[in-house]
Structure 1
Amino acid sequence: METSAQEESTGVCPDGGLAFDVFSRRCPSRDTLEDVTGRWGSLTLGALHEGTFRFNELRRRIDGVSEKMLSQTLQALERDGLVRRDAQPTNPPRVDYELTPLGRQVAERLLTLIRFVQARMPEVLAARETYDEVRGGR
């Protein structure tokens, strides 16, 4: 779905409805934000930032994701225009996944956040320990 320059600059939904506002429950940007920032979406985008992967390669890269969840995640990200699925007519079939230009931009921003969180984990772990001592743990 393409948007006009006016729609991009004003943030108006293509149907002329609400302005794009993730805090509004009817805004389609909320679904995309969920696809991108959910555990599996962010890890999938981060992994694909490293290059093109086949399904099972990607599943091994994202430790702990089930086949079903990865499949659903890839479909959602493809629908959002962030991932490209390339099915090659070989026997057996070969399917590769890669980021679109928009997906690459989103992944770069996510990776900045991921790196920040990883770098601050000593502080997070200390805060958790303090919280657990005061509140009685999880």
Structure 2
Amino acid sequence: MAEPDVTDAILLARIRDLQASLATDLAFLTRTIEEDAPRPDALRDLGERLLDLGGALVTRSDELNDALLATLPPHGWLPEAGARRHAMGVAHQVGSRPLRCGPVFLALCGAACYPFYGRDATNRSARHERCEACQARLGGSS
């Protein structure tokens, strides 16, 4: 895996390049199509740029997701955020592509969950009651 700073810097440069030229490219392509004289070279150029950037973004997303999953328990169940201090909380399933929203993760059911167990070697999160909505979305598996 490439260094994140280098990868992110390259992606940012490519995004900015596309952002700077996209309005002009689209206006040109729209005009040629409206005039019934589309330019295959212009269509291909923009299509290849979009495909290339899209592929790079998907690859980077997979790298970030893999790094994120490595910090969570393998079973994917996390305790809900804001649970009462001394009460047994509810565990929610964050899924295979967890969404991080600031310091919490969003579960399949939409609940905010704390990631404080890490890999949870003591299996504390397994002792929480499991969210019925998350279990239903997973087809009843745990």
TM-score, length of structure 1 as denominator length: 0.25
TM-score, length of structure 2 as denominator length: 0.25
Greater helix content: 1
